[in-house]
Structure 1
């Protein structure tokens, strides 16, 4: 009768090459652990940006006919200078129009007022000092702002989590599917720096120090409405709970000043556009020029849901999306972020639902929800889980660049915007 026991498999020692790789990896990990936190953060961010650089170069090599007139394979700087980078370059070179361009029916045409002034102003200041041009300085400024944002994010994350979890949170943001935008001449990296600094000062209750940072943030990207909403909610919450938790008069005044400054900052860019053009609706009309209609709160989400899933299933799909979003924002990992970051994420989601026309650019506009990177890292302490998430993000990063940054003309003309 044959023995049913399976024969023992011979366990072979690792080859010399594998053993050497294991030893090298172990030494590198040991050295990394001894580094101060800022070197760890900068190393993580640098490796992520190198990966994005390689992805952008590889996809650029596949770029065919395009509206930018590149002859042959575009260079890295040419490739990242496409899309909205062109609008920022126009602002850098010539500023904003004195009146809103309109067609024969009075509808606003696409123009520079849709893009906030801080990023091109920073690049112009650097050009005045260095004598270099937009093509060099804009990517350098965007990339440098991204490195500074990484340091600020870690300081914010470590207020609510361990150092290891904070590093993983920064890593998830660094390799997120839309993270190549953080080295492209867009305002996203500068806004991320100012937003993370604003949240850090808010969490540490340095309200007056946050005022100038918030005002600058409101001139970098349209996040001021969401920030003002968050501040209003937090102020009312502190006031209503003042009997359970002390709310000293000095703190009431300082938090009130920051709340008021946030509201002023939220209105600053539309007011500036009005003052410069004499047209009260210059900013809102310009923003809606890309969608081809007027500003109607929440409606674009309903229209897009019905277009994708039909008049019956569209609203159902939208309700499911809202339910999943609410469940995420109320989950334990998000609650562990602290009330400030939790309310920020909720306020920004509400802002997107109210004002955004959901297109492929929605993926990029989710970047201000970066605190969810820490929540994702806190979901499990398993290294296998965290590594799998990071690898999935790297793959999706390739998908985002190849699908949206690369120009691929649609049958009806144009392409999906990144």
Structure 2
């Protein structure tokens, strides 16, 4: 694992953060730094908002249903809203007792809280939270990409994240945007050596999706790596590193323990997931379905896109490794890909799960950022139109949940 940059390492803009300016003035406070960061990120966030607004507009233009009926009332969205309204105790016809415990608690808790203090239904609150989280996620993607690849690449990466084939999920009442926001800012915290912040974000990520394990692994692995002995490492923040490594797993582990207590079995959560058809088999399930897709004479559009997304993700991960991307990004990207492709379950969800592995977009964003602006934005505009059309297909034509 490559050594993490220190606080005095020049960032992507070539300036080294310091606590005092050359004239001796104190470094700006947190509010000033956040404001400055927002000013740098606003072009990316504005372009992202336009891309997602286009996607939603195309969906609504092709659906007789209203916005919330299309984006906040179907598939997993309905489960999260139901949990927010009724809680977890319930029995399902297929999955049996404790079936709702497969859905982690942070998102439904936020929905319930927002619906309680705002004049919103639980369904509307779920969608508003997901949309706000998508903005924070896009900002987090920008912050990470700017740190490691520069501002222009960061802008392109954010737009690309907003127009990937399954980007429609970023406008639905799903947990992908909330999780991506937590993961991206946790990565940024590790890159800037804010270990306690990274650990707290990992806790919340572990309470959002099962793939929160990837964020936990990233934080713990990087913290422990920093603790390794070596020359010139006497000033390591040992206490903060140990605290981060100990705190980061608490969210996921506490939920695992709570479900075990409710189920009366130490592996209660794993049993609940098995009832939903989800286990870890090392990728055999994914390979079987890929072989079935490519072995058919007639392939549905969604299956073809999912298979292409999986193949592209593997290739892009290899490119990231060959390009020697920073260690935290590689640990997170590898962990996400292993979890996503190594588990059984609903094959159509694989591409949706990979939405959160935004690190894989960097090898595509970097060369596009070096192209002429007219060429880059023409390519992105065309991709946005195709993504919007495909998103409309997923929600208005396809019979499968994304």
**In structure 2, distance between residues paired with 1:298 and 1:203:** 30
Match of 1:25 in 2: none
Q: Secondary structure at the match of 1:185?
A: coil
**In structure 1, distance between residues paired with 2:74 and 2:92:** 22
Query: Is residue 284 from structure 1 mapped to residue 267 from structure 2 by the alignment?
Result: no
Structure 1, residues 23-50: CA drift from partner, whole Å, max 9, x if none? xxxxxxxxxxxx9324323311221221
Select 1:257's aligned residue among 226, 243, 259.
243
Deviation, structure 1 residue 364: 0.7
Q: Is the 8 A contact 1:201 1:210 kept in 2?
A: yes
Query: Is residue 299 from structure 1 mapped to residue 284 from structure 2 by the alignment?
Result: yes
- Trace 1:13-162 onto structure 2 (pairs within 5 A): 36-60=39-63, 73-80=64-71, 81-97=73-89, 101=92, 108=96, 111-162=99-150
Q: Using a 3 Å threshold, how does the CA distance of structure 1 residues 327 and 178 change in structure 2: closer, same or farther? A: closer
**In structure 2, distance between residues paired with 1:416 and 1:371:** 27
**In structure 2, distance between residues paired with 1:218 and 1:304:** 28
Q: Secondary structure at the match of 1:227?
A: helix
Q: Using a 3 Å threshold, how does the CA distance of structure 1 residues 178 and 109 change in structure 2: closer, same or farther? A: farther
Match of 2:182 in 1: 194
Deviation, structure 1 residue 330: 3.7
Match of 2:171 in 1: 183
Q: Is the 8 A contact 1:119 1:187 kept in 2?
A: yes
Q: Is the 8 A contact 2:207 2:255 kept in 1?
A: yes
Q: Secondary structure at the match of 2:148?
A: coil
Q: Secondary structure at the match of 1:362?
A: helix
Q: Using a 3 Å threshold, how does the CA distance of structure 1 residues 153 and 101 change in structure 2: closer, same or farther? A: same
Q: Using a 3 Å threshold, how does the CA distance of structure 1 residues 260 and 166 change in structure 2: closer, same or farther? A: same
**In structure 2, distance between residues paired with 1:237 and 1:108:** 43
**In structure 1, distance between residues paired with 2:199 and 2:162:** 27
Pair member with larger Rg: 1
Q: Using a 3 Å threshold, how does the CA distance of structure 1 residues 280 and 346 change in structure 2: closer, same or farther? A: same
Q: Secondary structure at the match of 1:120?
A: helix
Q: What number of residue pairs does the alignment pair up?
A: 350
**In structure 2, distance between residues paired with 1:321 and 1:85:** 23
Deviation, structure 1 residue 79: 1.0
**In structure 1, distance between residues paired with 2:46 and 2:68:** 23
Query: Is residue 374 from structure 1 mapped to residue 362 from structure 2 by the alignment?
Result: yes
TM-score by length of 1: 0.74
**In structure 2, distance between residues paired with 1:232 and 1:213:** 12
Match of 1:338 in 2: 326
Q: Using a 3 Å threshold, how does the CA distance of structure 1 residues 143 and 102 change in structure 2: closer, same or farther? A: closer
Q: Secondary structure at the match of 1:132?
A: coil
Q: Which runs of 5+ in 2 are unaligned?
A: 1-37, 296-307
**In structure 1, distance between residues paired with 2:220 and 2:200:** 18
Q: Which runs of 5+ in 1 are unaligned?
A: 1-34, 61-72, 311-319, 409-414
Select 2:217's aligned residue among 225, 229, 247.
229
Q: Using a 3 Å threshold, how does the CA distance of structure 1 residues 290 and 397 change in structure 2: closer, same or farther? A: farther
